[in-house]
Amino acid sequence: MLWTFVAVAVVAGLAWVVLFSPVLAVRSVEVTGVSGADRAAVTDLVRVPSGTPLARVDVEAVEQRVRTRSTVAEVSVERGWPSTLRVRTVSRAPALVLRNPQGQLEVVDATGISYETVRTPPPGVPLVRAASSKGTTKEALEAALSMVQVLPPDLGRQVSAIEVSTANLVSFTLGGTEVVWGGADDAPRKLAILRALLPTKPEVIDVSAPDTPVTRGGPSPSASPSR
C-alpha cells in the first residue's frame, strides 16, 4: 500500500509539473520561414500567452490561426521542450503578378492563389493583364501559369505584355513576336513548337492548337514543325 501510494503521488506530481506548473510552460515563441512584417503577423496569430503549459497548447488551433495569413502556404507547430513553441512556416512564392480590372497588382502563387496586393511587381516576376473588365477565372489563371512555368529562363526574360482573355486564350509578346499560347493543355509541346518556329522570325506564332501551329508575317512563310 505504501509503494502504491508513492507511485500514485509520483504520477500525480509529474502530471502537475507537465500540465499545470510553470516549469514546462511557454516562455518563448520561435517563428521560422518568414521575416519582417510576415513574421510579426504570424507571431500575433499564435496567441498563446506566456506561462501556458506546453502540454496544454492546442497546436492544431495555432496552425489554423496562422493559416489565415494569406502569404503563408504551409505551417507546422511543435512543442520545443522545456519552454519553446516552434512555429515553422513556408511562404508562398510569387509565380506571376496579375493586373486586375481595377488596376491593382495581385501576386499569384503557382497554385493560382492570389495572396497579396503590391505597388510594383517583385523582380523577375512576370506581369499579366486580364483582358476582360470582369477579371479572370481560376481556369484562365491556370492557363497563364502553365505558360509562365514551362518557359525556360532564356525565353522568359524576353516575355512582355502577357494577356489573359479566357481559359483558352493566353497571349504574350516574345521579343518582337506575338505568341498566341491558348490554354493550359500541352504546355511542353507548345514550347517545343515555339522554339522550332522562332528562328523564322514571324510577326505572330499561334500554338494554341499544337497539332496545327500557324505563323503570320515575317520573312518566312507559314510552317508547321514535324512531330
Determine the pLDDT at residue 102.
86
Which has the closest alpha carbon to 173: 150, 202, 193, 149? Answer: 202
Using an 8 Å Cβ cutoff, are 85 and 46 in contact?
yes
Report d(CA 191, CA 59) in Å as an integer.
45
Mean pLDDT of all residues in the chain? 87
How much is the pTM? 0.76
Predicted confidence (pLDDT) per residue in 47-58, tens digit? 999 999 999 999
Q: Is the pLDDT of residue 112 over 50?
A: yes
**Residue for grid cell 517583385:** 122
**Residue for grid cell 501551329:** 213
Predicted confidence (pLDDT) per residue in 207-226, tens digit? 999 999 999 987 644 444 44
Determine the pLDDT at residue 225.
46
Which of 18 and 35 is assigned the larger pLDDT?
35
> Which of 4-18, 63-77, 180-194, 213-227 is the least confident region?
4-18
Question: What's the pLDDT band for 133 if we cut at 50, 70, 90?
Answer: confident
Report d(CA 214, CA 212) in Å as an integer.
6
DSSP strand E in the chain: where?
Answer: 28-32, 72-80, 84-91, 94-99, 105-109, 114-118, 127-130, 159-166, 169-174, 177-182, 204-206, 214-216
Question: What's the pLDDT band for 10 if we cut at 50, 70, 90?
Answer: low
Question: What's the pLDDT band for 161 if we cut at 50, 70, 90?
Answer: confident
Determine the pLDDT at residue 220.
44
What would the mean pLDDT of 8-18 be, rounded to a whole number?
50
Cα atoms in the 13 Å half-sphere on the side-chain side of 221: 0
